[in-house]
Amino acid sequence: MDIYNKSAHRPLPLPPNNWIMRQTWRDVLFLHWPIQPEQLRPFIPSLLEIDTYDGAAWIGIVAFRMEGIYFRGLSFFSVVAPFSEVNVRTYVKYKGKPGVFFISLDVNDWASLNIAKRWYRLPYHSADISIRRKGSTISYESVRKNRPVRFEGCCTPKQEDFFAANGTLEHFLTEKYCFYTAGNKADVFHGDIHHPPWPLQRAEFQTERNTLFSPLNLDISGEAPIVHFSKGADSLMWNVKKLKKL
């Protein structure tokens, strides 16, 4: 699959150096809520600007199955077994470059958790996670180990695939091509990502339980999220780099 040479949709050129790994994401659930930027500020390094759409910041839950991670040059051999992940994220900019900022990531694979923590400086937590299909409905359940943090619900896609048009809210929430994360010593790191445009479906989501925002003291339990679903995509990842302080 030649992902690299299909890049006309990107807002910025591809990085000049080589990508290091390819990932395969499947059954991807996107849930998003609007939030006041000042509510997020305590969790975002001062080096980063909170990105907004029509004046609102957004916090999201993205859950998916990772079917494989393949290092460059080993395209037919996944270095880990399939696993599942649930992350909490928002959107930021650094010197005008938009990207994802990860607040937390729950994962049910020990090896992936430890590799990602050390290599990508991402705030991973160990969790029991299941993602299952029954007919047209996909159920998601995540329970963080040793902490009262839980996410559970069912997604039902409702329409045919579409690609988010540039300038729309869907595009703002899903079409990101880098991520930012805070290290253990107050350093901020950034990593580039490349993937085809997400094939999205509008969907309904029935929440059974969601305490993923409890550690942040954010209560959005009364708000209905904007829901999108994607059957999946492959992505390319570059190594992380430490940002220079402004």
- 73 Ramachandran zone, left/alpha/beta (phi>0; psi -120 to 50): left
Q: State whether residue 174 is helix, strand or coil.
A: helix
CATH annotation of 21-242: 2.40.400.10
User: Residue ranges per domain, the chain?
Assistant: 21-242
CA distances to 148, 154, 169 from 36, rounded to whole Å, are 25, 27, 16
137-166: pLDDT as tens digits: 999 999 999 888 999 999 999 989 999 999
Q: How confident is the model at residue 185 (pLDDT cuts 50, 70, 90)?
A: low
- Whole-structure pTM value: 0.94
d(CA 223, CA 1) in angstroms, rounded, equals 39
166-179: pLDDT as tens digits: 999 999 999 999 99
Look at residue 72 in the predicted model and tell me its pLDDT: 82
Average pLDDT over residues 185-199: 91
Average pLDDT over residues 52-68: 95
Average pLDDT over residues 191-210: 96
